[in-house]
Amino acid sequence: MGFGESAYVTKISGSTTILCQVNGTRIALSHAAGSNILVEQIGVMSPPVG
pTM above 0.85, yes or no: no
Instruction: Indicate whether 28 pLDDT > 80.
Output: yes
> Could you give the residue ranges of the DSSP H alpha helices within the chain?
31-34
* pLDDT at position 45: 67
Residue, of 4 and 26, whose pLDDT is higher: 26
The Cα 12–Cα 33 span in angstroms is: 16
Mean predicted confidence (pLDDT) in 21-50? 81
Confidence tier at 42 by pLDDT (50, 70, 90)? confident
